[in-house]
Amino acid sequence: MSVQFSPEKLDKINELISHYPEGKHKSALIGVLHIAEEEFGWLSVNTMDYVASLLKLQPIEVYEVASFYSMFNLKPVGKYVFEVCQTGPCMLKGSDQIIDYIKQKLNIGVGETTEDGMFTLKTVECLGACGYAPMMQMGKFYKEHLTPERVDQIIEECRNNSARNN
C-alpha cells in the first residue's frame, strides 16, 4: 500500500521546510509527522518511510523521533481519542474517578478502543490545564472541568457528530 500526501499538504510541508536554514530540513520532521497524522490518523511504517523519503532522511531517524514523542500514535486509534490527564493537580480534583467513569461507560480499559472503533481511552501526564481540572484532550481541543454528566454529554456529541458526517 502506498501513501501520498495531497498537493495542499505538500505545499504546507514545503512551507515548513522554508522556515529553517538551508540543509536543516530535518527540523521540519515533527511538523510533517503532525501533518501525516492529521491525514492518515496514525503513523504506519509505510507512512513513516514516505515521510523519510520526502525529507531525505534514513527511515530509522523517523522511527526514532516518532516513538520518542508521546503525541504520535504508532498504532491505529479510535475516531475520538480521550486523553485524560492523571497527574497530581488533576488527581486532587478527582481525575481518578473520571477515568473510572469513562472506563465503565465505554466498557473499555485504558489504552483500548471500543469495538465500533469510535473511542479510545488513554491516560496522559500533565497537559497544562491544572487550574481547569479534571480535564482531557480530545483531538485539537481540551475538555475541561469534567464531571460524569459532562463526560456523558461529550460522548453523546461525538456520536451525533459521527452520525451526521456519515
The answer to whether 86 and 96 are in contact (CB under 8 A) is: yes
- DSSP label at residue 143: E
6, 58, 165, 166: which one binds other proteins (CB under 8 A): 58
**Does 27 engage in binding with other proteins (CB under 8 A)?**
yes
Closest by Cα among 24, 71, 151 to 16: 24
Which residues are CB-neighbours of 17 under 8 A, at least 6 positions away? Answer: 25, 28, 55
Tell me which stretch binds other proteins (CB under 8 A): 98-106, 111-119, 133-141, 153-161.
133-141
76, 88, 111, 117: which one binds other proteins (CB under 8 A): 88
Between CA 49 and CA 53 the distance in angstroms is 6
**Does 14 engage in binding with other proteins (CB under 8 A)?**
no
Question: Which residues contribute to the site for other proteins (CB under 8 A)?
Answer: 19, 21, 24, 26-31, 33-34, 45, 58-61, 63-65, 67-72, 86-89, 91-93, 125-133, 137, 140-142
